[in-house]
Amino acid sequence: MKRFLIIIACLAVSASSLFAQTNTYRTLEPGMKYKELKGIYNHKDYVKSVSDPYSKTWMGIGSFFMPGIGQIASNETRRGFAFIGGSVLISTVGSYSADKLLDLTVKDADGNYKFTDEKAAMRCVATLAGVGLAELALAIWSSADAVKVAKVKNMYYGDLMKQHAMDVKLHPSFDVTRTSNGLKPVAGMTLAVNF
């Protein structure tokens, strides 16, 4: 009887440690957002699966050419609109600087173009160069972020659909066995591991 209790105690301890390691599966709920998921998943641990709902490649390419579109396609609309808002703000500054530069440009009597104020024109050119660099930096940042979001969301949906690598279940079992003294109840534990 002592052996039986020791075996059950050992199984219970090992099962509880196993469930503690896979605790992330029990905390998942449908509809979780990237902000919550990035604390559970590390995008570097992502392994591509055939059943992934989001293509990290297309999300990255889309977000490079139109910042925020990859995040929106990954069902992270607020995050996507933040990138779109940043892009609109940068473009507005660029448009204002380009208009100012055109206002400073005049055509002289010989048909050549020149600036009415050289210093103001150079500031506008420098601002336009900065705007170009800012747009490029935002596009790269948005693209990298969209890839991270797609990876994390793919891992989340894989776990949510129970497509993780290992599933461990511990079930009690009871049976009756025939002995020389008659029928005797037997208790045990069943450990099921699915890969």
Give a yes or no: residue 9 inside a domain: no
Which pLDDT tens digit goes with each residue over 76-128?
Answer: 999 999 999 999 999 999 999 999 999 988 888 788 888 888 899 999 999 99
If one counts the domains in the chain, the total is 1
Give a yes or no: residue 120 inside a domain: yes
Which pLDDT tens digit goes with each residue over 172-192?
Answer: 887 888 888 888 888 888 887
Q: Using H for helix, E for strand and C for coil, what is the string for the chain? A: CHHHHHHHHHHHHHHHHHHHHCHHHHHCCCCCCHHHHCCCCCHHHCCCCCCCCCCHHHHHHHHHHCCCHHHHHCCCHHHHHHHHHHHHHHHHHHHHHHHHHHHCEEECCCCCEEECCHHHHHHHHHHHHHHHHHHHHHHHHHHHHHHHHHHHHHHHHHHHCCCCCCEEEEEEEEEEEEECCEEEEEEEEEEEEEC
Give a yes or no: residue 34 inside a domain: yes
For the chain, the average pLDDT equals 84
Q: Residue 127 sits in which domain range?
A: 23-164
Which pLDDT tens digit goes with each residue over 127-185?
Answer: 999 999 999 999 999 999 999 999 999 988 888 876 445 666 777 887 888 888 888 88
Residue 13 pLDDT greater than 80, yes or no? no
Give a yes or no: residue 75 inside a domain: yes
